[in-house]
Amino acid sequence: MNAYDVVVIGSGPGGYVGAIRCAQLGMKTALIERYNALGGTCLNVGCIPSKALLDSSEHYHQAVHTFGEHGIDLKSAPKVNLTQMIKRKQDVVDQTVGGIQFLMKKNKIDVYHGHGSFVDKNTVQIAKEDGILEKITGKNIIIATGSKPAGLPFISIDKKRIITSTEALKLTEVPKHMVVIGGGVIGLELGSVYARLGAKVSVVEFMDSIIPTMDRTMGKELQKSLKKLGFEFYLSHKVKEVTAKGKSVTVKADNNKGEELVLDADYCLVAVGRKPYTDNLGLEKAGVKIDERGRVEVDAHLQTNISGIYAIGDVVKGAMLAHKAEEEGTFVAEVIAGQKPHINYNLIPGVVYTWPEVASVGYTEEQLKENGTPYKAGSFPFKASGRARASMDTDGLVKVLAHKDTDEILGVHMIGPRCADMIAEAVVAMEFRASAEDIARISHAHPTFTESFREAALDATAKRAIHI
Ligand code: FAD
Ligand code: NAD
């Protein structure tokens, strides 16, 4: 039986990053992955493929809708070749997954393919594709088994017409009408892909706002932009029935006044969240506890109730984000090595890769009100930015929330062009506990989208934005 310092179960961004950090710190490390491809949800059916399709569909949308105004005449109207689009997405995934295989070799990490399950607190059995069972031991074990799509008890997901994000990443036709249940990140990103390619997209959301956990201004602004793309929104609607017959799907929901909504479509994407994945993991054999929502319970060191067994990423509490899983992978490796790492969960940014992009870090305005924190708000609309006008991307704004007395930045929320990348400046500023005035005094290259962050900071610190 092979023996390791650390055995990691699951090769997503939590697991593979944790394994690399363990190896860097001199520990003999094994990584177990039930699929042939490494990289988990993120690389195979999550972040990377969805961004590949978002980019392709945005190119098409721009070609159809804005090239003319830019003075680019196409000989004939552009056409969607969905087969090629999906193939390119898969090429991107394959290359990225190949990169992880390379990194495992480079770091001398032993990779086992097969379903891992605990035999006891130090032993994991791997059930391989060919039926062979192999056992390995670890002084420490990291559970990084991730998550899978959640459903609703009354919906039977047939994966043909009633689908999850996984199927939505490989459709063979552009839907005529796609109903999306859930106005969260997945629903709006994948809804955007197909809306840009010509589908009618209707979003049915339980709450009274889309992306309801983000700062409310973001949901309001994003809804305006997506409406221009042809999205229809049914907020405050509770879905009660979804049925598929042949090539059609019917979705029924009630609004908060008890009125019934009936939508007929050819596809229904169920995007109501994800749930931790611990199926057949044998947690009970190691004595590891889960909480009422099926998440592996961990303490402040991400250690479970069993000494030497840790858990990270989507399978534990907190935001289900790849970069959060990565932070936790590194954190646990360093804890095992006897170091004293730290994660500031409040400064893990959240991004929605629609167009305009939405990006956020720190407290929302609603949270500050609820906590009774005295704050001041500043904002700057992209329509006042020369750079945004040059690229015809004038939707959205940057909002900076700072402490009323100390001027420390407490939250930054932006919706607009390239906000996914722009938010990094806000994260750095907040990590170093910058004030709004600090940002206002830093030179920002002109013309860039980042000037809008400076202007919003100027507005927050002393209501002295220059260009509004
Ligand atoms: P996972 O990536 O889920 O990996 C877990 C791995 O463990 C899987 O490979 C699984 O096969 C394996 N496994 C499970 N059980 C066993 C077992 N018993 N034995 C062996 N192997 C096992 N997040 C972002 O930050 N940015 C994005 O843009 C983004 N886009 C997304 C788009 C979509 C459509 C989806 C679905 C998710 C997206 N996410 C995004 C979320 C992100 O994918 C997850 O937060 C991230 O993958 C979690 O990483 P993880 O390592 O915890 O688990
Ligand atoms: P989500 O939690 O973002 O959104 C789910 C939405 O469904 C919520 O707005 C919720 O109110 C709504 N909902 C729940 N039950 C409903 C019902 N019965 N009827 C109507 N609406 C209902 O979940 P998601 O979009 O499925 O994404 C899952 C996870 O994947 C998220 O935690 C997210 O962090 C992660 N993810 C991240 C990214 C990114 O970082 N860009 C992209 C995709 C997914």
Give the start-to-end residue ranges of the domains of the chain: 2-149+275-345, 162-272, 356-460
Query: Which band of pLDDT confidence, cut at 50, 70 and 90, is reported for residue 399?
Result: very high
Query: Which band of pLDDT confidence, cut at 50, 70 and 90, is reported for residue 387?
Result: very high
- Tell me, what DSSP letter sits at residue 108? T
Strand-pair partners of 431 = none
pLDDT of residue 376: 98
Per CATH, the number for 356-460 is 3.30.390.30
pLDDT of residue 330: 98
pLDDT of residue 393: 97
pLDDT of residue 254: 97
Regarding the beta carbon of 180 and ligand 2, being less than 6 Å apart is answered no
The whole-angstrom separation of Cα 388 and Cα 448 is 8
pLDDT of residue 240: 97
The whole-angstrom separation of Cα 315 and Cα 143 is 8
- Indicate the fold that domain 2-149+275-345 takes in CATH: FAD/NAD(P)-binding domain (3.50.50)
pLDDT of residue 103: 98
For 202-230, how does the pLDDT look when each residue is reduced to its tens digit (9 = 90+)? 999 999 999 999 999 999 999 999 999 99
Q: In what order do the strands lie in the sheet containing 248-255?
A: 237-245, 248-255, 260-265
Q: 145, 317, 323, 327: which to mutate for ligand 1, most atoms within 8 A of CB? A: 145
Regarding the beta carbon of 185 and ligand 2, being less than 6 Å apart is answered yes
Q: Which residue has 């190949």 as its token pair?
A: 98
Of 396, 359, 400, 397, nearest to 377 by C-alpha is 400
User: In this structure, which ligand is nearest to the CA of 14?
Assistant: 1
User: In this structure, which ligand is nearest to the CA of 49?
Assistant: 1
pLDDT of residue 98: 97
User: In this structure, which ligand is nearest to the CA of 268?
Assistant: 2
Tokens of residue 94, six digits: 């394959």
pLDDT of residue 420: 98
State yes or no: is 403 an active-site residue: no
Burial class from Cβ neighbours inside 10 Å (0-12, 13-18, 19+) for residue 252 reads middle
For 335-380, how does the pLDDT look when each residue is reduced to its tens digit (9 = 90+)? 999 999 999 999 999 999 999 999 999 999 999 999 999 999 999 9
Strands 200-204 and 232-234: parallel
Regarding the beta carbon of 41 and ligand 1, being less than 6 Å apart is answered yes
Strands 357-362 and 350-352: antiparallel
Regarding the beta carbon of 174 and ligand 1, being less than 6 Å apart is answered no
Q: What is the mean pLDDT of the chain?
A: 98
Query: How many CB atoms lie under 10 A from the CB of residue 162?
Result: 22
Of 50, 52, 145, 48, nearest to 97 by C-alpha is 48
Expressed in angstroms, the distance from the first to the final Cα of the chain is 69
For 146-182, how does the pLDDT look when each residue is reduced to its tens digit (9 = 90+)? 999 999 999 999 999 999 999 999 999 999 999 999 9
Average pLDDT, integer, range 400-412: 98
Q: How far is the CA of 375 from the centre of ligand 1 (A)?
A: 36
Regarding the beta carbon of 187 and ligand 2, being less than 6 Å apart is answered yes
Tokens of residue 192, six digits: 């955007």
Average pLDDT, integer, range 262-275: 98
- Tell me, what DSSP letter sits at residue 349? -
Instruction: List the Cα angle 200/204/205 in 5-degree steps.
Output: 140
pLDDT of residue 372: 98
User: In this structure, which ligand is nearest to the CA of 269?
Assistant: 2
Regarding the beta carbon of 212 and ligand 2, being less than 6 Å apart is answered yes
CA 280 to chain centre: 26
* Identical topology for domains 2-149+275-345 and 356-460: no
Query: How many CB atoms lie under 10 A from the CB of residue 320?
Result: 19
pLDDT of residue 133: 98
CA-168 nearest atom, ligand 1: 34
pLDDT of residue 24: 98
pLDDT of residue 397: 98
CA 94 to chain centre: 20
For 295-331, how does the pLDDT look when each residue is reduced to its tens digit (9 = 90+)? 999 999 999 999 999 999 999 999 999 999 999 999 9
Q: Which residue has 């955007």 as its token pair?
A: 192
- List Cβ neighbours of 273 (8 Å cut-off, separation of 6 or more): 150, 182, 184
CA-274 nearest atom, ligand 2: 28
For 181-204, how does the pLDDT look when each residue is reduced to its tens digit (9 = 90+)? 999 999 999 999 999 999 999 999
Average pLDDT, integer, range 424-432: 98
Regarding the beta carbon of 148 and ligand 1, being less than 6 Å apart is answered no
- Tell me, what DSSP letter sits at residue 297? P
- Residue of the nearest CA to atom 52 in ligand 1? 313
Contact 262, 251 (CB under 8 A): yes
Q: How far is the CA of 238 from the centre of ligand 2 (A)?
A: 15
> What is each CA distance from 213 to 145, 210, 219, 252, in whole angstroms?
25, 9, 9, 25
Of 277, 5, 7, nearest to 135 by C-alpha is 7
What is the percent of the chain where pLDDT is above 70? 100
- Residue of the nearest CA to atom 37 in ligand 1? 46
Rg (the chain; Cα; Å): 24
Regarding the beta carbon of 461 and ligand 1, being less than 6 Å apart is answered no
Query: Which band of pLDDT confidence, cut at 50, 70 and 90, is reported for residue 99?
Result: very high
Tokens of residue 195, six digits: 């809306």
The catalytically annotated residue of 59, 70, 413, 446 is 446
> What is each CA distance from 312 to 142, 328, 329, 343, 407, in whole angstroms?
7, 6, 6, 12, 34
Average pLDDT, integer, range 453-462: 97
Burial class from Cβ neighbours inside 10 Å (0-12, 13-18, 19+) for residue 154 reads exposed
Domain 162-272 has CATH 3.20.20.70: no
Query: Which band of pLDDT confidence, cut at 50, 70 and 90, is reported for residue 4?
Result: very high
Determine phi and psi for 240, rounding to 5 degrees: -125, -20
pLDDT of residue 380: 98
pLDDT of residue 360: 98
